[in-house]
Structure 1
């Protein structure tokens, strides 16, 4: 492993692969101070106001004169809002046909295919959260022992549903989340629990989305049932009746084209865009070649890289939808007195990421190279196959909640600083960007992409390893976060708008 990595000949910085003392020789110059691992070094003088480039792309502007060999980071790099020229469909690289692969999944009556077989207790409002948790808690491993094909009973509770406008972005997003979880292919049965007087009425959801009561879909309100205790008792009885129906589901061979994978990153570092994210991008290309779907999200974390995605848009309309999301976020952050550069987080910066532009260029690599076939609202059903994008915040639990509501049956999550994230009903696969963190958090990380940097493994080899894990986990192999029981508290619908 070399001491530094140059990603493109056009770059005026390189990245240190280990901590480098002052005076260390680097590309014809020498470091002027200690450079932490993962941080950038100027390879030429950069005048104040000039562009700082990495990935052959703009990542910021020098806020002071930067000498060759100097540490390049937040102390001497400034962020500016992007001012891009957008091209559409100029970089279309369709996936090559491949031999079809299969996994062992659950075929549902509506034609969807699941990777897990849960029963869901979905709340309409925070006021019914305790009831939902009590109902789900009744169904212990011991009580579910006679239903071996049921993975569990999960309560999806949240902190909103009332004190909000009855229309607009926030209300519509919450309704899409509830509908998405109600019809998710990883759920064999669903019980919805409300209070009764909340703004987010369950009956409105049923009318809006055409949901009908059945043996495996039931609803109830605490006020109508007459109190918490009776609601919990009634809920337990309803799910007890659902269990035999859910247990009839069995795994069978299913085409990989049925998989929808949420592409996520969190706790990112400088290696995210060099190891794990490109490897996940290669796995995404393999998935798309099978007819499957990859769903990239976190709109603030493609800011500064969106022009690369519009070039891959299958139509001008798809590209314009993506730009529309970028403009909405610029306005959203401005009216809330924030900045698009509020992200990266302190941990991201400690890991070597300086601006959101740099972070976004690495994050976008998770989407691979195939055409962008669709752009969706938060929690909207993802209908197009191939590489797609969903609007969401960069906050991982809220973003993943939207992707799962959109139909994702697996989540793949890259991390450099480390993460203890997990999700239900779609299990999360976690990929470490560096070997040091992987060694510290082996119990949490499913795959180490750090050996791309330190072990001579190619991005393509690692990408194929990730793709094979897609199939294994989709077929029932527990991911490490799943085996540790994560996912019961990571359901976080994005709360948009005023709380009233």
Structure 2
């Protein structure tokens, strides 16, 4: 925000902007001075919302973050609050790469020799977790996965009774409700955990759905956080074992991890099948427990950059903080992945110009165009992306939301563009085609190789992932105070002008190292928030 003009109550993000963000609740008739200019607030304006810095007539362009984010639907007076009634979504059309972006990498002297404690894999990747993963190729096997989950978790994890169970137990017995937990049991294994995925795919729908799911599941197996996997197939479904194995071989032709695959229609009774699976899986889990954390350079981190439940502060505090972390990491030859294509609408020109090679620029624009057309075909579009919660908190148009959302990717050159289910293979910042849907996007980020996810939010969301830590970064201090059980890190000091984005980025990177090393557990992990929803293309925005 080096070009921003900061007032304790108002922020003009870019010198060319004609709107400003209310940093606090503004009262009608309040007179403010911004960059030497007097502005009278025309009506009560909640913090996070935008006010006009000039008079607008119908059709006039609304500029924020230095880019077009909308047009006036009717006349708007200077000092008036912007709403969905008086502005509408509008974004610049982009057809090709028009130049390149000058970028000065950050100083990384402080980080060059820093390490995290991770799980080293034979292919050179390093995990922040050590997971044995159970999943089905088709929804018909979900019940068997759930049975295995109950069996393995009850024996391998602490048999801890939750405080809510203790509360209900007391009420049933007519006793004073107790919240004392029974935590006398300990994990059977110290270095490996078991996780379980279920889903609604693998059969029905179109064949491309199954092929896409095969790529995604193969990415989960290849993710460095996974030590090995137990895979259940029915036998007659669209997502055949061969399709899954071919997808896995494409991503990882020399995979050394154990992958156990079972087909129910070849195995007789459920009882016999489960007995075999339990014996085989336990033997491999026992071996995986021998893998221990060892130092690894920060270049072995692959960050998934995500946002959800965004507010009017996300684009000026939490998201730019992630941008600082991303820039540092890719300068160290690490990897970062920026997703959610509907939330890149309106900033395509900057992103296209940041692509190092023209093929990626063309791929990005083609993926964006195809994605939006698929939505138009079903009567929607990118302009439908902002949620009611976004709008209530000041994100009025998709382009306005996008201009803030893209700040998660910092300023570095873009080394590659990935379609959903493609696995990252080289260092640097990549763009990944996903919907804006939090869980579908996070699911895709981890399937593309992210071994840790940074997830910004202004309103709060519990989203997690079965195999990767999801660190929740709040855009404001109040959210951290209200929802401390789901927020890991907060950036409200930036809004108050107490810390710079750069300082906050350094603090967040230190926190990431602790989580990646297993010293701090992400709140989503503590909540058991293991969300997994594959994207069926064309059906989600």
Fold conserved (TM > 0.5)? Answer: yes
Q: CA deviation at 1:31?
A: 1.8
Task: Specify the alignment match of 1:305 in structure 2.
Answer: 347
Which of 161, 168, 180 matches 2:219? 180
Secondary structure of the 2:354 match is: coil
Task: Choose 390-399 or 4-13, whichever is displaced more.
Answer: 4-13
1:212 CA displacement: 9.4
- Assess, with a 3 A threshold, how the Cα gap between structure 1 residues 433 and 314 changes in structure 2: closer, same or farther: same
Aligned to 2:58: 48
CA RMSD, 1 decimal: 1.9
SS of the residue aligned with 1:71? Answer: coil
* Matches for 1:259-408 after TM superposition, within 5 Å: 259-408=301-450
Check whether the contact 1:13–1:52 (CA below 8 A) recurs between aligned residues. yes
SS of the residue corresponding to residue 392 of structure 1 reads: coil
Which residue of the other structure, out of 157, 180, 201, is the alignment partner of 2:198?
157
Q: CA deviation at 1:201?
A: 1.0
- The CA deviation at 1:339 is 1.8
Q: CA offset at residue 143 of structure 1? A: 2.7
- The range that moved more, 29-38 or 134-143, is 134-143
User: Residue 479 of structure 1: SS of its match in structure 2?
Assistant: coil
Q: Take 1:311 and 1:17, find their aligned partners in 2: how far apart are those partners?
A: 32
Post-superposition offset of 1:318: 1.5
* 1:49-68 pair list within 5 angstroms: 49-68=59-78
Q: Which runs of 5+ in 2 are unaligned?
A: 1-6, 158-186
Residue 205 of structure 1 pairs with residue 205 of structure 2: no
Q: Which shifted more, 45-54 or 417-426?
A: 417-426
Give the distance between the partners of 1:455 and 1:5, measured in 2 at CA.
11
- How far off is 1:230 after superposition? 3.3
8 Å contact kept, 2:343–2:436: yes
- The corresponding residue for 1:91 is 101
For 2:332 and 2:283, the matched residues in 1 are separated by 38
Judged with a 3 Å threshold, the aligned counterparts in structure 2 of structure 1 residues 462 and 141 are, in CA distance, closer, same or farther, namely farther
Alignment of 1:195 with 2:234, yes or no, is: yes
- TM superposition score normalised by structure 2: 0.88
Name the stretch that deviates more: 140-149 or 308-317. 140-149
Q: Who is 2:151 aligned against? A: 138
Which one of the candidate residues 70, 74, 82 is aligned to 2:80?
70
Kept in 2, the 8 Å contact 1:89–1:314? The answer is no
Q: TM-score, normalised by structure 1?
A: 0.94
- Secondary structure class of the residue paired with 1:193: strand
- Contact 1:164–1:199 (8 Å) recurs in 2: no
Which sits farther off after the overlay, 135-144 or 314-323? Answer: 135-144
SS at match of 1:205: helix
Is it true that 1:256 corresponds to 2:266 in the alignment? no
User: Structure 1: where are the runs of 5+ without partners?
Assistant: none
On the 8 A contact 2:462/2:524 being kept in 1, the answer is no
Looking at structure 2, the residues matched to 414 and 215 of structure 1 have their Cα atoms a distance apart, in angstroms, of: 33
Maintained 8 Å contact 1:421/1:481: no
Structure 2 equivalent of residue 104 of structure 1: 117
Counterpart CA distance in 2 for 1:392 and 1:85 is 21
For 1:88 and 1:219, how far apart are their aligned partners in 2? 49
**Does the 8 A contact of 1:120 with 1:189 survive in 2?**
yes
Deviations 1:42-83 (A, max 9, x none): 121011000011112111000000111111121100123541
The answer on 1:422 being equivalent to 2:464 is: yes
**Equivalents in 2 of 1:115, 1:141: separation in Å?**
24
Return the match for 2:498 from 456, 467, 470.
456
CA shift at 1:407, angstroms?
0.9
Q: Please, which moves more after superposition, 135-144 or 19-28?
A: 135-144
SS of the residue 1:72 aligns to: coil
Q: What secondary structure, in the 3-state scheme, does the structure 2 residue paired with 1:403 have? A: helix
397 and 215 in structure 1: CA distance in 2 versus 1, 3 angstrom threshold: closer
Q: Does 1:413 align with 2:455?
A: yes
Aligned to 2:523: 481
Q: Does 1:13 align with 2:52?
A: no
SS of the residue corresponding to residue 450 of structure 2 reads coil
SS of aligned partner of 1:140: helix
1:392 Cα shift? 0.5
Change (3 A) 1:292 1:141: farther
Structure 2: how far apart are the matches of 1:69 and 1:102?
50
Residues 469 and 522 in structure 2, CA contact (< 8 A), matched pair in contact too: no
CA, structure 1 residues 117+201, in 2 after alignment: closer, same or farther (shift >3 Å)? same
**Does the 8 A contact of 2:219 with 2:248 survive in 1?**
no
Detail structure 1 runs of 4+ shifted over 4 Å in the superposition. 211-215
C-alpha change, 1:455 and 1:445, in structure 2 (3 Å) is: farther
- C-alpha contact (below 8 Å) 1:92/1:314 kept by paired residues: no
